[in-house]
Structures are given as structure tokens and as C-alpha cells.
Amino acid sequence: MRFAKLHIVGRAISFLLVTAAASLLSLPSVHAQDSASDPNIPRADRPRLSITVRDNGGALISSAGIVKIYRDGVLADQAGISHGRAFFDSILMGNYTVVVEATGYKPAQRDVNVSIAMLYEVEANLQRDSAPDGTAATPAKPLLAPKAKEALDKTLKALGANKLPEAQKHLDEALKLAPGHPDVLYAQGLLLLDQKNWPQAQAVLEKASQMDPTNGHAFSALGMALVDEGKYDQAIAPLEKSLQLGPGTWETHWALGSSYYHLQQYDQAVKTSQLAWTESNGKAPQIELLVAQSFTAVGKYDDAAQALRDFLKHYGDRPEASTARRWLDGLAKNGKIHSN
């Protein structure tokens, strides 16, 4: 698979890596305090984190909440907020992202580099969630550590150049640094699609879309993996979800139209395949054959014949041309259209 391309049974499918924007709130500096300097804090061989959560007015929040800490993009631990405080004892050294979530407030996050055995103090000033529907804000997605992000960027660049061995090398590094990050899993799923490893791609993309339910492209890629496996009934839900989250691409509409057709939902197949054909601007001529199939299924034989004639006129040298001629001859032989 090339970067920005997916496959549907050997067909290239474009994608755009989407990174959900976190709600970054005003967070004061992180303070590191040597445990030996405070007689009230027992000494420890490992670093510790103390998180204080306040509202805009500076008062400790009383709402129920949770603090999650991610080490190099992987969830390391979580703790409930009690009287505006949360603690983590004896954590490992490394790069952490602290994510604070509390009822009625927008989530906040902050990166902390934990490098020595100290008490690290983080203060989070939360803003009220003023969403009109009262729904909770989407939790902030943990940021990738710099090295992991660099490896991921190199993976995507290699995929864009269709350099799969190079992409695999950089992906292995990204997976080592941040094995549970949804963006890394998404890139892994795309590479697996390009390698035509549909079942494993499905498993990885399912996990990526569950971890980041705002990434419409992850749902699209998952749907395409299912189409490649012939699981059309399972493919429709993630493909439709993808279109709910964004405008979608012609590749998504193509996969969805194909799924509708195989499930005999022909009216939807006509509409969706036509949309895919229009949006593709001729990038995938095979879509016109799906349009013709869908027209035939709903009894619009003249429209089907016109689509087949257009295909033969513009793409008569393609391997699919023999199929288009056979279908056109079949329509005429069965009396569905007049022979030219």
C-alpha cells in the first residue's frame, strides 16, 4: 500500500492520516521536588507523580474524575481524583503524558519527562465543559513522544513512496516506542493492507478505531479490510461511521457501494457507486463497472449500457474491457437493450 492509498482487492485506496486535536488547557509548570528535601514524604527508589486538579478559579475540584498516565504512548496507570488530588507511586522513568478527565470539565493533558527519583508535581486547571448537549468531551489522545513520532512520520513517508521494507523498518521502531498508540496502530493496519494481510489488518484497525473513535479514516480502512475479506455485511457499519465523522473519500464510497451491491441493497449501491465514480475523476475506472452492475440490478438497463459503452470508449485497453463487452452483449442478447 502506498501512503495515502489503501486496497480493495488490489485497488489503491487513498487515506489522510488524521490526528485528533487534544483540548490543551492552561497547565502551570511541572515542579520536581527531591523526596529527601521534604521530611513528610518517604524516600523511594523510583519517581512519583502528584497531580492537583483545580477549576478556573483556583479551587480544588470536587467532581468525580480520573487521571491517566501514558508512558511513551502506552497507558501505564490510572487513579481516581479525590478532593482534587491524584497520586502515582514508584513509577518507571520515561516520557509520560498525564491526561486529566473530570465530570463537567474539558479534559486536559501535559507531557512530563521523568528522569530521576523525585516527586513530580503537576497542577491542572480545568475549564468547564460548556457543550450545549451536556455530553462529556472526548478524552484527549495521548501525544507521541518525539522519537516515536519521528519513527511514525518516517513510516508514513515510506508508505507514500511505496517502499514497504523501509516502512516496515520504521514501523517496527514506532511499535517498540509506542505499541499501544492509535496512530501507530493505524499505520500498522495500512501497511498490513498493502501487504494483503487482511485478517491481521482487520484486527489492528479494529483496535485503532476503538482507541480513537474520532478517526474516520481508521474506520474507513477497517471497512476496506473487511471488504477485501469478503465480509460485506460487517464492512458497512465502519464505512458508514467513517462518513459520519467526515466527508469521506471516493475510496470509502466505492467500498461502501460494493458492500451494498453484494448485500443486494441495490438502490444504495446505485447512489453510492455513482458518487464514488464522480468523486474519483477517473482515478479508478473499475468503479464504472460497479455503476453498470448496480443499474442493471435495479432494472435501469439503458443506463447500465451507457456506463459500459463509456468504459469501453475511454478504457478499452484495460483488462476489464472484456468483461464490459460481455456484459453489454448480454444485455442486448437478453433483449434488455437494442443492439447497435
Q: Quick one: pLDDT at residue 27? A: 37
Q: Quick one: pLDDT at residue 11? A: 36
Domains 31-125 and 146-284 share a fold: no
Q: Quick one: pLDDT at residue 139? A: 56
The stretches in the chain having pLDDT less than 70 are 1-44, 130-141, 340
Q: Quick one: pLDDT at residue 138? A: 53
Round to whole Å and give the CA distance between 29 and 135. 30
31-125 topology per CATH: Immunoglobulin-like (2.60.40)
pLDDT in tens, 287-300: 999 999 999 999 99
Q: Quick one: pLDDT at residue 3? A: 33
146-284 topology per CATH: 1.25.40
Cell of 45: 527508589
Stated as kind and residue range, the H or E segment containing 278 is helix 266-280
Q: Give the SS3 label for residue 179.
A: coil
Q: Quick one: pLDDT at residue 336? A: 92
Angle of CA points 163, 165, 166, to nearest 5°? 65
Q: Are 92 and 46 in contact (CB under 8 A)?
A: yes
Q: Exposed, middle or buried: residue 231 (CB in 10 Å: 0-12, 13-18, 19+)?
A: middle
Round to whole Å and give the CA distance between 69 and 284. 45
pLDDT in tens, 95-139: 888 999 888 888 888 888 999 999 999 998 898 876 444 444 455
Closest residue by Cα to residue 120 from 25, 35, 28: 35
Q: Quick one: pLDDT at residue 130? A: 62
User: Would you list the domain boundaries of the chain?
Assistant: 31-125, 146-284
Secondary structure of 283-314 as H, E, C letters: CCCHHHHHHHHHHHHCCCHHHHHHHHHHHHHH
Q: Quick one: pLDDT at residue 327? A: 96
Q: Are 325 and 331 in contact (CB under 8 A)?
A: no
